[in-house]
């Protein structure tokens, strides 16, 4: 059936030269409604985890660790939610674009270091620092999708620093 579609659409030679990644991407494409539902579901899970983490912060002894775990998981879910809208390959390419590469690297590094600080090193001061850096880097990464906003913020900071 795919061969018939490709012949009728005039893409006969192209279908034989597809890469494995293109074939897998075509086989796993979702409809627009499903993509939006997946985005909303994953984003809501991310926001709920983030809010739950903030609420659990005030529990004695274990609150900080629960906050870090839920907050980091919430950020990961929120980040993954955009993969539903544009697809995972396109999202990863956009994350590694030259305008976002540094922000992406810092954001992912802070996500990992936050969890390492909480579970491996067990240094709460360092973990809290990485969590704050995680917030700032996630915001800076998110602002990279809005044209000229990061430039405007840099100009405002430069004016305020004078």
Q: Please report which confidence band the pLDDT of residue 10 belongs to, taking 50, 70 and 90 as the band edges.
A: low
Task: Summarize pLDDT for 29-72 with one digit per residue, the tens.
Answer: 778 888 899 999 999 999 999 999 989 988 888 888 899 899 99
User: Which residue has better confidence, 16 or 54?
Assistant: 54
Q: Which residue ranges make up each domain of the chain?
A: 1-30, 31-161
DSSP codes of every residue in 89-112 = HHHHHHHTSTTTHHHHHHHHHHHH
Task: Summarize pLDDT for 93-138 with one digit per residue, the tens.
Answer: 999 999 899 999 999 999 999 999 888 998 888 988 998 999 899 9
Q: Name the nearest CA neighbour of 139 among 107, 109, 108.
A: 107
Q: Name the nearest CA neighbour of 131 among 34, 47, 65, 43.
A: 65
pLDDT for 4 equals 45
User: Which residue has better confidence, 110 or 2?
Assistant: 110
How large is the average pLDDT for residues 157-161?
93
Q: Name the nearest CA neighbour of 88 among 80, 96, 78, 77.
A: 80
Whether the pLDDT of residue 160 is over 90: the answer is yes
Q: Which pairs count as long-range contacts for 86-91, CB under 8 Å and 24+ apart, including other chains?
A: 87/25, 87/29, 89/21, 89/25
CA angle 136, 157, 111 (to 5 degrees): 10
Whether the pLDDT of residue 156 is over 90: the answer is yes
Q: For residue 67, give the H/E element and its range.
A: helix 63-86
Q: Do residues 87 and 118 touch, judged by C-beta distance below 8 A?
A: no
Does this model's pTM top 0.75? My answer is no
How large is the average pLDDT for residues 131-156?
90
For residue 40, give Cα distances in angstroms to 58, 113, 160: 28, 28, 38
Q: Do residues 127 and 114 touch, judged by C-beta distance below 8 A?
A: yes
């Amino acid at each position: 059936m795919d061969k018939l579609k490709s012949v009728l659409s005039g893409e006969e030679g192209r279908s034989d030269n597809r890469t494995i990644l293109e074939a897998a991407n075509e086989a796993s494409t979702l409809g627009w409604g499903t993509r939006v539902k997946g985005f909303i579901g994953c984003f809501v899970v991310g926001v709920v985890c983030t809010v739950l983490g903030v609420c659990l912060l005030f529990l004695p002894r274990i609150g900080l660790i629960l906050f870090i775990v839920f907050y980091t998981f919430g950020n990961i879910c929120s980040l993954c939610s955009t993969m539903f809208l544009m697809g995972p390959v396109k999202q990863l390419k956009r994350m590694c674009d030259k305008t976002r590469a540094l922000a992406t690297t810092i954001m992912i590094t802070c996500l990992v270091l936050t969890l390492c600080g909480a579970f491996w090193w067990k240094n709460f001061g360092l973990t809290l620092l990485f969590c704050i850096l995680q917030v700032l880097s996630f915001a800076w990464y998110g602002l990279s999708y809005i044209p000229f906003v990061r430039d405007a913020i840099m100009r405002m900071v430069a004016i305020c620093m004078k």
